[in-house]
Amino acid sequence: MVKPRTLYEKIWDAHVVERRPDGTCLIYIDRHLVHEVTSPQAFEGLRMAGRAVRRPDLTLAVPDHNLPTTPRRDAEGHRIPIADPQSAQQLAALEANAPAFGIRYIGDADPEQGIVHVVGPEQGFTLPGTTLVCGDSHTSSHGALGALAFGIGTSEVEHVLATQTLLLKQSKTMAVVIEGELGFGVTPKDVALAICGHIGTAGGTGHVMEYRGSVFRDMSIEGRLTVANMSIEAGARSGLFAPDEKTFAYLQGRPMAPKGAEWDAAIAYWKTLHSDEGAQFDKVVVIDAADIAPTVTWGTSPEDVVAVTGLVPAPDSFEDASKRAAAQKSLDYMGLSAGQRMEDVAIEHIFIGSCTNSRIEDLRAAAAILDGRHIASGIKHAMVVPGSGLVKRQAEAEGLDRIFVQAGFEWREPGCSACLGMNPDKVPAGERCASTSNRNFMGRQGPGARTHLVSPVMAAAAAVTGKLTDVRELLKDKEGVVA
Amino acid sequence: MEKLTTIDGRAYPFGMKNVDTDIVIPAHWLKTISRAGLGKGAFEVLRKEPGNVFDDPDYAGSPILIAGDNFGCGSSREHAAWALADLGIKVVIAPSFSDIFSGNAFKNGILTVVLPQENVDRLMEVAKTDPIHVDLEAQTVTTQFQDRFAFDIDPFRKQCLLGGLDEIGLTLDQADSIGTYEAQVAQQRPWIVPAVA
């Protein structure tokens, strides 16, 4: 009898080009996404060695990190220059490198442009059972469609460009099982934050996660993208969802998805991509859906989570001495004190966007809270940055942009934006942002910026009240709205 | 890549836990299109704090960095490894590393040594006054006080570091196997890897 295998082991086995005696494998890479920040040195390396890109047809380049989210073309269609010369230089490098190496390039003003991790699934570039890499840690997102997807460094980007392979050791496997039903107002983002809180930011190190259980089966593809996106925040380079009917329905008709007879063959193959009955995981983590509340972060690590109805924890409450020291440092940085109610924390900035939460369902959910309401007087700046040009168009077709603008938000062009502030979108030092992004690290949204990670509906709720707020309270006043 | 065999010298007794790569090198330093010169931005935020180890003249130019658990978590930016290399760091010792960071470090000739917390604590003590010796061939970290800690390392990575080998060049020697694999997938699942026209 064949040994039962996990989904990860099946995808791994199908991609081994060569196995070395020490267990290291040369793994074939099916899809490679390239953006402007982590690729210039890789292209420079190829040039210096006189090497070509082995499979430009399996590679897709999209600028996202540095692009301003203000208009990129003037009324005559001319490019509006980018103020920061270094950002401009990095963007120009990708724009030149992609055609020079024969790689398809989606440009800054193309309607398909967006954050690589939004564009890949949207275009059908990301497919179940493929290996997909990108020089960006949030590549884990693509695991939502059943792709073994992980972030790589620039040397590995160069290695993939030149050889279409990577030398890898097989990871351990971790099943993250959540059964039950999510409570009222609890979203996939809260699930992702709960996992980080439960296992810690190093909990998944060395492992590939597989999300299992009814909560994940019931989740939409966009919700799964949010959860898989934050696998890396729990230490796992990849997080997988077994492809199912929802996955197939999502992919059908996407521009780069298979068509016709190939589509039928693909579906037949994709249906084999699940962990076998009896397959063993190296670790199993079980969380009860009923224990997950609308969640916020209080500190400077994504594991620093608490229910929005909770209190800022006391550093002494942690068993580990180094965690106690880290918690104190976090509270000093965040300007919070132990025992403070999270719902009393006033917010000055709202950011709805990033590869975690900038898809159409995220925008619909936030808009449903904001419809007929306005941002509080204490909010200095609120903005929505759609994940791609196509998301933006769809939202505009549904009138969501008008809801955001009427509520006092700015409606921007797509990109990574204030998630990491490589473009002009930053949070000023000492000011506080309710952000739908993925990292609350010190200085992440700008030097001295204070980040509270939240779901899109929680960001909308904070915008309306001017402080961290339990969105369920606002939902109660609004009949017929489901988060 | 430069060969790495033994490293002898002072070590930064840093010790911080969960150091993410945003701390190692903040995002505004990522706008460069070159690998060089990032040492200036290394630990920028921490260096604003008085008394930080990186600006302490006692440790200036140390080739070894001692850190806490989960060093290099977060963003995949290889700039973190480039920044450390530019600072002159050849070895990072910690109880654990993020997977992406340790891969990036190796590709830039930086050895990541995983040791139990108690050994790391001991080395933090020694580092305040005395040098530390790392021997990659023997896979040991030693001090002049009879401390001797053995560490594990992936044999392939060890060979690459000792020989200063170019991984891409090594893989390109396997081009035939890669071609065979591609042809096979083009037959079985052409929607994933089409045949090359």
Which residues in B lie closer than 8 A to residue A172 (C-beta atoms)? none
ipTM value of the model? 0.94
Closest C-alpha to A330, from B75, B17, B124: B17
Per-domain residue ranges for chain B?
Answer: 6-165
How far is residue A367's CA from residue B25's CA, in Å, rounded to a whole number?
36
The minimum CA-CA distance between A276 and chain B, rounded to whole Å, is: 21
Closest C-alpha to A111, from A388, A389, A359, A386: A389
The DSSP code for A279 is P
Q: Are strands B91-94 and B111-114 parallel, antiparallel or unpaired?
A: parallel
A272/B contact by beta carbon, under 8 A: no
A107/B contact by beta carbon, under 8 A: no
Using the beta-carbon criterion (under 8 Å), do A38 and B77 form an inter-chain contact? Answer: yes
Nearest Cα residue in chain A from B33: A40
Q: Which site among A33, A55, A154, A439 would you substitute to test the B interface, given the most B Cβ atoms closer than 10 Å to its Cβ?
A: A154
Average pLDDT over residues A408-437: 97
Place of tokens 């330093």: B29
Which residues in B lie closer than 8 A to residue A44 (C-beta atoms)? 33-34
Contact A159, A248 (CB under 8 A): no
What pLDDT score was predicted for residue A255? 98
Which residues in B lie closer than 8 A to residue A322 (C-beta atoms)? 17, 68-69
How far is residue B99's CA from residue B101's CA, in Å, rounded to a whole number?
6
A68/B contact by beta carbon, under 8 A: no
| Centroid of chain to Cα A277 | 30
Residues A267-321 have pLDDT tens digits of 999 999 999 999 999 999 999 999 999 999 999 999 999 999 999 999 999 988 8
- Which among A18, A58, A442 has the least Cβ separation from residue B23? A442
Topology annotation, domain B6-165: Aconitase; domain 4 (3.20.19)
Average pLDDT over residues B80-107: 96
DSSP secondary structure string for all residues of B147-160: -EEE----HHHHHH
What pLDDT score was predicted for residue A483? 44
Contact B98, B73 (CB under 8 A): yes
- Which among A38, A163, A235 has the least Cβ separation from residue B172? A163
Amino acid at A197: G
Residues A454-477 have pLDDT tens digits of 999 999 999 999 999 999 999 886
The most distant pair of C-alpha atoms in chain B lies apart, rounded to whole Å, by 65
The CA–CA distances, whole Å, from A380 to A409, A427, A432, A453, B144 equal 10, 10, 10, 18, 58
Q: Which two tokens stand for residue B67?
A: 């850190």
Nearest Cα residue in chain A from B20: A441
Contact A32, A132 (CB under 8 A): yes
Contact B31, A84 (CB under 8 A): yes
Using the beta-carbon criterion (under 8 Å), do B156 and A22 form an inter-chain contact? Answer: yes
What pLDDT score was predicted for residue A476? 81
How far is residue B111's CA from residue B114's CA, in Å, rounded to a whole number?
10
Average pLDDT over residues A242-264: 98
Closest C-alpha to A12, from A2, A22, A26, A32: A26
Angle at B79 between CA A209 and CA B16, to 5 degrees: 70
Average pLDDT over residues B150-166: 93
Residues A196-234 have pLDDT tens digits of 999 999 999 999 999 999 999 999 999 999 999 999 999
C-alpha dihedral, A463 to A466 to A472 to A473, nearest 10°: -130
Residues B11-26 have pLDDT tens digits of 999 999 999 999 999 9
Which residues in B lie closer than 8 A to residue A159 (C-beta atoms)? 167-168, 171
Which residues in A lie closer than 8 A to residue B168 (C-beta atoms)? 45, 49, 51, 158-159, 162-163
What pLDDT score was predicted for residue A23? 87
